[in-house]
Structure 1
Amino acid sequence: MSSYLNLLGLAIRANKVSLGEETIVHDIRTKQATLVLIANDASSNTKKKLTDKCKSYGIPYKIVDSREEISQAIGKKNRVAVAIKDEGFTKKFLQLIND
């Protein structure tokens, strides 16, 4: 398992993550989201909606592993995207994903 997936589990337990497309879009709009992680197998519709929102609000996003791996890391089924709501976690995620 990628180290950022371990961190995702930690972020979930720390309550610094939002789930669900509508909640994520809301958190992007209100600038509560500091990073959005999108599964590489999310539908093109979902990808477009989230990446466009991130771009227009200046929120960084990353296309990461499959929905299965994300879902497993957070212990919830069929999750295609998560929003991180913490600057510290975001820095660490970007570090781990870019390495």
Structure 2
Amino acid sequence: MKNNYLNLLGLAFRAGKCSLGEDTILKDIRSRRAVLILLANDIGPQTKKKITDKCKTYKIPYVIVDDRETISNAIGKTQRVAIAILDAGFAAKMNTLLGE
């Protein structure tokens, strides 16, 4: 994985264009505020299934990235396994950096 997306993730978080927490992310997917979902590669199977199923239903793209420690450090929080990007510009650039 390229580390440039981590810099962009930190910038998006500081700009207030991210949401954290399973319930908030699911609410943002249902309301179609979420543009892209980033999932840690060590996310629990139940949480992963719940979020990915909701993404498929509402046609929101999701990407599995680095482990929870890496993405948590990028935003300055601890133990984050899923992050929703709420801005189309940040999501487009994130997809480019992740090679999607």
Same fold, judged at TM 0.5 (above): yes
User: Which 4+ runs in 1 deviate beyond 4 A?
Assistant: none
Cα distance in 2, alignment partners of residues 44 and 18 from structure 1: 20
After superposition, give the CA deviation of every residue in 1:4-23 in whole Å (9 maximum; x if it has no partner).
00100000011000000000
**Counterparts in 2 of 1:21-40, with a 5 A limit?**
21-40=22-41
Task: Output aligned runs, 1:53-92, within 5 Å.
Answer: 53-92=54-93
SS of the equivalent of 2:73 reads helix
Deviation of the 1:61 alpha carbon: 0.3
Shift, 1:43, TM fit: 0.3
- Aligned positions, number: 99
* CA-CA distance at 1:29 after TM superposition: 0.2
* RMSD value, Cα: 1.0
Equivalent position of 1:93 in the other structure = 94
Q: In structure 2, the residue corresponding to 1:36 is in which secondary structure?
A: strand
- The whole-number CA distance in structure 2 between the counterparts of 1:77 and 1:29 is 25
Q: Which consecutive unaligned segments of at least 5 residues does structure 1 have? A: none
Gaps of 5+ in 2: none
Which amino acid in the other structure matches residue 86 of structure 1?
A: D
* Percent of aligned positions that are identical: 61
Secondary structure (helix, strand or coil) at the match of 1:15 reads coil
Letter of the aligned partner of 1:83 in structure 2? A
Shift of the alpha carbon at 1:98? 1.1
Q: 1:30 deviation in Å?
A: 0.1
Give TM-score, length-normalised by structure 1. 0.97
Shift of 1:48: 0.7
Q: Give the partner amino acid of 1:15.
A: G
Q: Which residue of 2 aligns with 1:2?
A: 3
Aligned to 1:45: 46
CA distance in 2, matches of 1:47, 1:5: 21
